[in-house]
Amino acid sequence: MIPDSYYTVLSAVLFTIGVVGVLVRRNPLVMFMSIELMLNAANLAFVAFGSRFGSAEGQVIVFFVMTVAAAEVAVGLAIIVAIFRLRSRLSVDDLNLMRW
């Protein structure tokens, strides 16, 4: 049996990689993937702690987080594709130029 601390450490490492990806990279697609990585790290922690305490509440929370992530993907990718079609390049620094 794998100890729960391994899951916690893996979740923390994945979340840290996601935070670094959001803070360092300027490409919206990479930032978007980093946010998804952070959500998956939180899901891993919820499932690990849910199994540790013997309740299904962690899995229920993961279900809701995955639902929100699916909506985020639909809206976020639509915005990114619209910006790419308008500007022909993707950069977070150029997004303030979209103001009217």
pTM for this prediction: 0.81
Start-end of H helices in the chain: 4-24, 28-53, 57-87
**Residue ranges of the chain whose pLDDT lies below 50:** none
Residue 61, domain extent: 4-92
pLDDT at 52: 87
CA 64, 70, 72, 74 torsion-angle sign: negative
Q: How many domains does the chain have?
A: 1
pLDDT at 98: 57
Q: Does residue 100 fall inside a structural domain? A: no
Q: Does residue 60 fall inside a structural domain? A: yes
Q: Does residue 99 fall inside a structural domain? A: no
Q: What is the CATH number of the domain that holds 82?
A: 1.10.287.3510
pLDDT at 45: 94
